[in-house]
Amino acid sequence: MTARIGVVTFPGSLDDRDTQRAIRVAGAEPVALWHKDKDLKQVDAVVLCGGFSYGDYLRAGAIARFSPVMDTLIDQAKAGLPVLGICNGFQILTEAHLLPGGMLGNDHLHFICRDQKLRVENAGTAWTSDYTAGQEIRIPLKNMDGRYVADRRTLDELEAEGRVAFRYLDMNPNGSLNDIAGITNAAGNVVGLMPHPEHAVEPLIGTGRTDGLPFFTSILKKLVNA
């Protein structure tokens, strides 16, 4: 049976089609989910893709968090459904309190778009098992509100529990505390990161590398072996 991975589209989503393609390249079946529907169509995992949901009014991800689909998604994620939040999706996950901390505007107050070097810190999540801890990868980064912040106690907990999933290398592109590029929840089924792995799954697009593909092969292997 082919694993089915849902991709939620909000008003202002930009990367839903790219994410669906990445899922297809990995060998799973992408399933389009609409923000107004509470039905997740019995998918095995969900990706919240990048973009500017609801124009990023109020705060990035703040309105999308209250979309009908999120009511179901929050309950399912707490019950163990694998969820990946990419860029705006990461922002939505923090607004929904599925991941701790929050996202603020880049410290230099400019939109950034570049190939970004990362270090994999946690290869034990549902979305990172095809990486190895300490592996260095390069995938595209594009954001205006990408600065990860949290109080000191939360940061200490994330570090102590190994829940920093990815860290920026060579440069901190947005002022994120502790150079954090992505984190995971305690159970390892919910992961959020600012860079865009869906843009690095084929040699002809993005960085010209496939460093982002293991996100999607990782979840596929987990679902197949579950």
Report pLDDT digits (tens) over 174-219.
999 999 999 999 999 999 999 999 999 999 877 779 999 999 999 9
Query: Where residue 168 falls among pLDDT bands split at 50, 70, 90?
Result: very high
Q: Which of 87, 95, 121, 199 is catalytic?
A: 87
Report the percent of the chain where pLDDT is more than 90: 92
pLDDT of residue 191: 98
Is there a catalytic annotation at residue 196?
A: yes
Is there a catalytic annotation at residue 35?
A: no
Is there a catalytic annotation at residue 49?
A: no
pTM: 0.96
Q: Which of 49, 95, 121, 196 is catalytic?
A: 196
pLDDT of residue 7: 98
H-run or E-run covering 163: none
Q: What distance in Å separates the CA atoms of residue 154 and residue 36, rounded to the nearest whole number?
A: 32
Helix (H, G, I), strand (E, B) or coil at 94: helix
**b/e map of 198-220 (b: 16 or more CB within 10 Å)?**
bbbbeeebbbebbbbbbbbbbbb
Average pLDDT over residues 95-103: 97
Report the percent of the chain where pLDDT is more than 70: 99
Strand partners, 98: none
Helix (H, G, I), strand (E, B) or coil at 53: helix
Cβ proximity of 139 and 207 under 8 Å = yes
Query: Where residue 158 falls among pLDDT bands split at 50, 70, 90?
Result: very high
Helix (H, G, I), strand (E, B) or coil at 7: strand
Q: How are beta strands 112-120 and 164-168 bridged, if at all?
A: antiparallel
